[in-house]
Structure 1
Amino acid sequence: MGVRAGIVVCITSFLLGSLFTHWIADSLTLWKSPVTDEHLWTAATYYSILAKGPPAALYFLAAVVATGGITILWSLRDGEAGNIMFDGGSIFLFGTTIAMYLYSVLPSVFATFNSLPAHQLKDPFPRSLRFATLELASNNLICSVALTGVLALQAGRSWAERSDADDEEFEESEAEGTRSRAKTPDPRTEKLHQRIESTD
């Protein structure tokens, strides 16, 4: 695996790990049945804490995302068929994740969960917050699947490059063997020449 592919894999893995931390909240709304008011309040409180977090965390995350996107685009510039196929798919999935976060996830977190009403866990959950909480969990799941696809495509690219390198080595060894056989004289041909020369 090259340096650029290694950077993409590391950054994608970091972003996946960041999304997996939301499992604390999302597991209560996606995988619990029935979804109770207590589950929804817990998830909403978690996202409220994130919305009030330090802006430096967002700047750091933006820098990591930008580095990953630039690295994939850099690989795509090579113009090789494998890069176009694997990195093109990676850019699509990576871009889909970024677009979903910029236009859906982050606006929802800051607009909806920045200030929650005073409540107890057993209080009825507001209907206006219910849809936003469930949608947020679904969007996080979609982003996780998309980033997993980026990892799969980069693994496929690495396998394809290794297979191409093995094929090239095999072809080079075959060509080298052919050249060495051509340079080595055949003993039977030499004997035939010697008989012809002795006859003359």
Structure 2
Amino acid sequence: MGVRAGVVVCAVSFLLGALFTHWIADSLTLWKSPVTEQNLWTAASYYAIIAKGHIYLHYFVAAVVSIGGVTILWNLRDGEAGNLMFDGGSIFLFATTVALYNYSVIPKILTVFSSLPMHQPNDAVPEDLRSTILELASNNLICSVALTGVLGLQAGRFWAENSSDDDAEDLVDDRGKSPPLESGAESS
């Protein structure tokens, strides 16, 4: 049980780290006010680098996603109540992240940013490119929060399993001992 949880935590942590690298672009658009044209072009240039990245990097990330998803499903197969609750929530959040990334983020990065127009840092950003950059930043934030939720659910599952194991050990210890004397009672 511990190995599978470790695989899930490692896979999700890796994916969170990959999403956090987008902070270079996303912080300029989500957390800076006002959003300048230079910030938008910097974010667009960052996404253009990702779009032109080596295909094997994309395959590697897809393999990590697959390993994480299969392991969560494998945990759910045990059928215990704790697994159904914690792993069911983890599957929902993980699947939501995968769906959002596959159907919104990746297609936009590959279509819009694979041929970024030539520009100067202070040129006006076209409105459709501006909205795409802001949407990508929002989607990256949603995926990061969802994956953080998966880590939280896995930590909750670990805590619940360890707590129930401790309770079971206490029951075993108490069975072999005589009941405690009540205060004020004398023993014979």
TM range (shorter): over 0.9
Q: Say which SS state the counterpart of residue 122 (structure 2) adopts.
A: coil
Query: Which of 1 and 2 has greater Rg?
Result: 1
**What is the TM-score when the length of structure 1 is the normalising length?**
0.88
Displacement after TM superposition at 1:175 (Å): 1.5
Q: What is residue 159 of structure 2 aligned with on the other side?
A: 159
**What is the TM-score when the length of structure 2 is the normalising length?**
0.93
Aligned sequence identity (%): 67
In 2, distance between residues paired with 1:45 and 1:4? 38
Displacement after TM superposition at 1:160 (Å): 0.2
Residue pairs, 1:180-199, within 5 angstroms: none
Q: What is residue 55 of structure 1 aligned with on the other side?
A: 55
Q: What is residue 25 of structure 2 aligned with on the other side?
A: 25
Residue pairs, 1:136-147, within 5 angstroms: 136-147=136-147
Q: What is residue 36 of structure 1 aligned with on the other side?
A: 36
Displacement after TM superposition at 1:177 (Å): 2.1
Correspondence 1:84 to 2:90: no
Correspondence 1:67 to 2:53: no
Pick the structure with more helix per residue.
1
Distance 1:80 1:178, change over 3 A: farther
Write the deviation string for residues 15-69 of structure 1: whole angstroms up to 9, x where unpaired: 0000000000000000000001110000000000100001100100000000000
Q: What is residue 13 of structure 1 aligned with on the other side?
A: 13
Write the deviation string for residues 58-102 of structure 1: whole angstroms up to 9, x where unpaired: 100000000000000001000000000000000000000000010
Displacement after TM superposition at 1:178 (Å): 5.0
Q: How many residues align?
A: 181
In 2, distance between residues paired with 1:51 and 1:157? 37
Q: What is residue 120 of structure 1 aligned with on the other side?
A: 120
Q: Say which SS state the counterpart of residue 177 (structure 2) adopts.
A: helix
In 2, distance between residues paired with 1:46 and 1:165? 48
Write the deviation string for residues 142-164 of structure 1: whole angstroms up to 9, x where unpaired: 00000000000000000000100
Write the deviation string for residues 97-136 of structure 1: whole angstroms up to 9, x where unpaired: 0000100000010111111111000111111101000000
In 2, distance between residues paired with 1:127 and 1:4? 46
